[in-house]
Amino acid sequence: MTHLDSRGLHLSTTSDLAAERYRHGVDLLLSTWPGAAETLEEAIAADPDFALAHAARARLHAIRTELASAKARIATAEEIVARRGTERERSHVEVLSLAINGQPAKALERALAHADAWPRDIVILSLPLGAFGLLAFSGMADHDQARVDLCERHARHFDADDWWFLTYRGWAHAENGNVTLGRALTQRGYDLRTENANAAHALSHAMYEGGAGEEAERLIADWLPRYDRTGILHGHIAWHSALGALERGDPEGALAIYADYIQPSATAGMPVNVVSDTASFLWRLQAYGHTVPAGLWAAAAAYSGEYFQKAGFAFADVHMALIAAAVGDRAAVEQRVQALTDLLEAGALAAGPVVPAICRAALSFANEDYAGCARTLEPIAAEVVRIGGSGAQRELVEDMLLLALMRSGEAVKARELLDRRLHRRPSPRDTRWHALLAA
């Protein structure tokens, strides 16, 4: 009997149970829903020579930053697929191996080629997409457009009710500025499969980008209790709600959300999310004029000390610098800047000079050298997109520039920046700041 995956592609297994468990496990993996690991293990137990099940398990290990396990699993998949696998399966495993073994540029190149040949292989098509995908972390300045182009190129291959594709297509459009279309697509994907953390996340982003922050808060408040706290996006989706509370001028409510769901001791999130969410929330809280309770910065620093010590992962570098600057570890920021500068001079920093510049600006801001911070950020403001992540995450850097301009007496420049932001996305916080500058 021929077994197929959830999008009709051949699977090299003779086990009905392995094929069924794989299909279900991949759906859980791609909806960031608890149970994916156990379900994929059941597929492997039913057929230990099922290469794609090992590969999907490797992918999940990699998402969890369990790199030794990820490398072992993908090596097993490579050994199996070499003797028992189709051309598509060999390519599938090769792409994942490149990504897991630290070759993101080659992985992106091969993933795009693979998608051209087998566009419905959604495990591979998912790799370039999303805020933390291969495109976002490629260092490209136009990765938002590249995601839209990729989705539109392959849209004809997907059914109108494909919940996975709707979610990522909608995310791509919303992040690229077409918020109306993006929200409509993500809403449809969410309605088709509400047990999908990626859809709830994408829809909350689309609402935020459309200036509907309070609506996003209501969505999250309704949806989050259905998502087990072991879900890796649980804390990050709560982070969006905390940002909404800050925007409304409710720091106590935002801090309560942080304490319950976001701080390192409360979340089971991916390390990159925990580091970035803690750093960016606490930075915003403090920069907006509120008191950060004693111990919160120290706890974030203690957690981050276990991760991302090696410079070169631009998105993490920026947030690691924020934490180090906030706790007064000037030496750590300067060491990271020097390491990034060395990589830049060697041609090995894909995101370019914007990365060490933001790190230096973070230190200047923490030291209340607002004029110096503004001088550092102004020339590279248009390049911040190259660090990856989402627009909501990168907005912190724009906030840093805006506040630095305001506090260094550059009122005209600050008003111009605020005008552009308010035109792009109405915000209660920006409205308050604009009134303050106009007074």
The string of pLDDT tens digits covering residues 233-266 is 999 999 999 999 999 999 999 999 999 999 999 9
Mean pLDDT, to the nearest integer, of 2-24? 96
Residue 425 has pLDDT above 90, yes or no: no
3-state secondary structure of 140: coil
What is the model's pLDDT at position 324?
98
For residue 3, list its beta bridge partners. 11
Whether residue 11 sits in one domain with residue 112: yes
SS (H, E, C) 190-226: HHHCCCCHHHHHHHHHHHHHCCCHHHHHHHHHHHHHH
Give the span between the Cα atoms of 97 and 49, in whole angstroms.
17
Q: Where are the alpha helices (DSSP H) in 118-196?
A: 122-125, 143-154, 163-175, 179-192
CA 331 to chain centre: 28
- Output DSSP code: residue 291: P
Within a domain: residue 173? yes
Within a domain: residue 269? no
Whether residue 146 sits in one domain with residue 72: no
What is the model's pLDDT at position 433?
86
Q: What is the model's pTM?
A: 0.95
- Which CATH number covers residue 200? 1.25.40
Within a domain: residue 200? yes
Write down the mean pLDDT value for the chain.
96
- Output DSSP code: residue 4: E
Residue that terminates a domain, selected from 118, 150, 176: 118
Give the span between the Cα atoms of 389 and 400, in whole angstroms.
17
Q: What are 110-116's contacts with CB under 8 Å, separation 24+?
A: 112/150, 115/150, 115/154
Tokens of 363: 């230190």
- Which CATH number covers residue 110? 1.25.40.10
Give the span between the Cα atoms of 247 and 352, in whole angstroms.
31
Domain that holds residue 39: 3-118
Residue that terminates a domain, selected from 75, 91, 118: 118
Residue 292 has pLDDT above 90, yes or no: yes
Q: What are phi and psi of 314, to 5 degrees?
A: -55, -50
The mean-pLDDT minimum among 167-171, 204-208, 418-422 falls in 418-422
The string of pLDDT tens digits covering residues 346-401 is 999 999 999 999 999 999 999 999 999 999 999 999 999 999 999 999 999 999 99
* Segment (H or E) for 93: helix 87-100
Within a domain: residue 290? no
For residue 11, list its beta bridge partners. 3
Whether residue 135 sits in one domain with residue 114: no
Amino acid at site 269 = G
Give the span between the Cα atoms of 287 and 104, in whole angstroms.
34
Whether residue 162 sits in one domain with residue 111: no
Tokens of 222: 């309704």
Whether residue 26 sits in one domain with residue 109: yes
Within a domain: residue 436? no
Within a domain: residue 404? no
The string of pLDDT tens digits covering residues 215-226 is 999 999 999 999
Within a domain: residue 419? no
The string of pLDDT tens digits covering residues 25-59 is 999 999 999 999 999 999 999 999 999 999 999 99
**What is the number of domains present in the chain?**
2
Whether residue 89 sits in one domain with residue 189: no
- Output DSSP code: residue 116: H
Whether residue 177 sits in one domain with residue 144: yes
Residue that terminates a domain, selected from 194, 227, 260: 227
Tokens of 403: 């506040």
Within a domain: residue 154? yes
The string of pLDDT tens digits covering residues 158-172 is 999 999 999 999 999
Whether residue 167 sits in one domain with residue 101: no
Task: Sort 310 into a burial class: Cβ within 10 Å, 0-12 / 13-18 / 19+.
Answer: exposed
